[in-house]
Structure 1
Amino acid sequence: MTLLEVDGLSAGYGRAEVLHGVTLSVAAKQIVAIVGPNGAGKTTLMHAVMGLLPRQGSVMFMGQKAGDAGWLVRHGVVLVPETRALFTDMSVEDNLELGAFARWRQGARDLRSSMADVFAVFPRLAERRRQLAGTLSGGERQMLALGRALMAQPRLLLLDEPSLGLAPKVVGDIFRVIAGLRDRGIAILIVEQNARAALQLADYGYVLEMGRVALHGPCVALAEDARVVETYLGRRRETG
């Protein structure tokens, strides 16, 4: 089942068009990676899909024409931006509760059980539930950003540079959690500068260059593509 269908998406800032006719899709329980150089339009793509920028082209979610960001959140799409956008002067617990605000407005009253589920995924957040978000480490902030998104019980997560600024060991921990979210039935569209990690994590990938899809295919195939290896993964060490 296809959750997200993007067809001919163009978007930008003012008169400066950044994306030029991008087409992609994300199926249920699938991780799709967007990789490419700085300035390729990866974050613009996420913002346009989420309805945070004026856009041209078609964005469909579960067979319906996608509306603005509020519409998408109500229908189960949540963006975790690269800035993480936490409320630093609020506690971990309060930040998590805000993640369920849209569901609460729709009548959900299961916030405690939802928070317990988040703490099961991120035990460190449970230990710091009363701590101010602004005092957390970089890795803990990323955990909180992901946990807050999970409070919305999303069908699709949009993750923008989840490894940004994190130590390699923490990156490994975060990516293992993301893989586990797919096992819980959550589809994921991930923008990631670390192309090697993204292609190892995801099922399908798109290479974005200068606002256009330059290559796409199963990640196993992309990881073996000579152009991808040369440009994004580094030269292979010759043997023999």
Structure 2
Amino acid sequence: MSGLLSVSDVHVAYGKVEAVRSVTLDVAGNEIVTIIGANGAGKTTLLNAIMGVLPLNGRVSFAGGDMARMDIEDRVAAGLSLVPEHRELFATMSVEDNLQLGAFRVARAQAARSFEHVYTLFPRLKERRKQLAGTLSGGEQQMLAMGRALMGAPKLLMLDEPSLGLAPIIVADIFRIVTELRRAGVSVLLVEQNAIGALKIADRAYVMELGEFVLSGQASVIAADPRVAASYLGFEVEGAG
């Protein structure tokens, strides 16, 4: 696996309040990495800082390049994309027009390939391509937000709570699509409160508490850790204690 994203000793503060402290993580090519933790742990803040939405102290490199002086558009052009927790779709625009906005930095030929890829991953979006985004169901809006991010042909897709508020059958579909993205060569950094689902599909995991990583390792090992099982998975590991 080749290195793709490297975050080293990152701190993020809101005024004098430090929301993220001494965070170091990496994501390799063709890898799903998940960050699990409770509400307010700093997960969303970290993703926003990596994307350039928030200022940070520390070092972030992507595809071998230092991102310190790169604005958000440059990060997108380099192959980094974020699907925010609240999706931030244009409700009065059609599905197709929302997707087209995601391709604003790519050539027309690439945009055509991206449309084909997105409609293959999300056939429901193709069926509803002329429908206004604001009239879609919650699950369809999540698919559209992911599809829009994929239109720019990213190397790394960062997903912030993609399963939030969705029915279990839709959540299973979203997680299945994340694994398909890895097979297609897109790495994924997944922030999730649904720890059981995230750990099942991830290669590696980080556990975040109060702005810091308290555990990291292979997802299967993290899932079997008694502390993680009790705090985030809702059960105790047999024989632990």
Structure 2 length as normaliser, TM-score? 0.95
Give the match for residue 89 of structure 1. 92
- How far apart are the structure 2 equivalents of 1:231 and 1:114? 40
- 1:76 is matched with 79
Q: Which residue of 2 aligns with 1:101?
A: 104
Please tell me whether the aligned partners of residues 87 and 134 of structure 1 are also in contact (alpha carbons under 8 angstroms).
Answer: yes
Moved over 6 A (4+): none
Cα drift, residue 108 of structure 1: 4.2
**Kindly, what percent of the aligned residue pairs are identical?**
53
Instruction: Give the Cα–Cα distance (whole angstroms) in 1 for the partners of residues 37 and 225 of structure 2.
Output: 14
**Aligned pair 1:234/2:234, yes or no?**
yes
Quote the residue 1:53 is aligned against. Answer: 54
Could you state the TM-score of these two structures normalised by the residue count of structure 1? 0.95
2:174 maps to amino acid = I
Corresponding residue of 1:44: 45
Is 1:15 matched up with 2:50? Answer: no
Task: Give the Cα separation in 2 of the matches to 1:11 and 1:208.
Answer: 14
Moved more, 170-179 or 230-239: 230-239
CA offsets 1:96-147 (integer angstroms, 9 cap, x no match):
00000122xxx44432332122111111001000000000000000110111
How many residue pairs were aligned? 236
Provide the secondary structure at the position in 1 that maps to 2:18: strand
Per-residue deviation, 1:15: 2.3
Q: Distance in 1 between matches of 2:64 and 2:237?
A: 45
C-alpha distance in structure 1 between counterparts of 2:65 and 2:39, whole Å: 32
* 85-94 vs 69-78, which moves further: 69-78
**Equivalent runs, 1:156-175 vs 2, <5 Å:** 156-175=156-175
- Amino acid in the other structure paired with 2:201: L
Structure 1 residue 222: deviation in Å? 0.4
3-state DSSP of counterpart to 1:191: strand
In the alignment, the residues of structure 2 paired with residue 197 and residue 117 of structure 1 have an alpha-carbon distance, to the nearest angstrom, of 24
Q: How does 1:68-217 map to 2 (within 5 A)?
A: 68-103=71-106, 107-217=107-217
For the aligned residue pairs, the C-alpha RMSD in angstroms reads 1.3
CA drift of 1:17 comes to 1.3
After superposition, the Cα gap between the structure-2 partners of 1:109 and 1:238, relative to the gap in structure 1 and judged at 3 Å, is closer
Extract unaligned runs of 5+ from structure 2: none
Q: Cα offset for 1:166?
A: 0.3
Amino acid at match of 2:225: D
CA-to-aligned-CA distance 1:40-91 (integer Å, 9 cap, x gap):
0000000011111110000000111012312210100000001001000000
- The aligned amino acid for 1:161 is E
The answer on whether the counterparts of 2:5 and 2:28 sit within 8 Å (CA) in structure 1 is yes
**More moved, 109-118 vs 154-163:** 109-118
**Secondary structure of the structure 2 residue equivalent to 1:148:** helix
- Distance between the aligned counterparts of 1:237 and 1:218, measured in 2? 17
Separation of aligned partners in 2, 1:27 and 1:90: 35
- TM-superposition CA deviations, 1:19-55 (whole Å, max 9, x none): 0010000000000000011110000000011111110
Contact kept, 8 Å, 2:229 with 2:237, in 1: the verdict is no
* Cα distance between partner residues in 2 of 1:111 and 1:190: 25
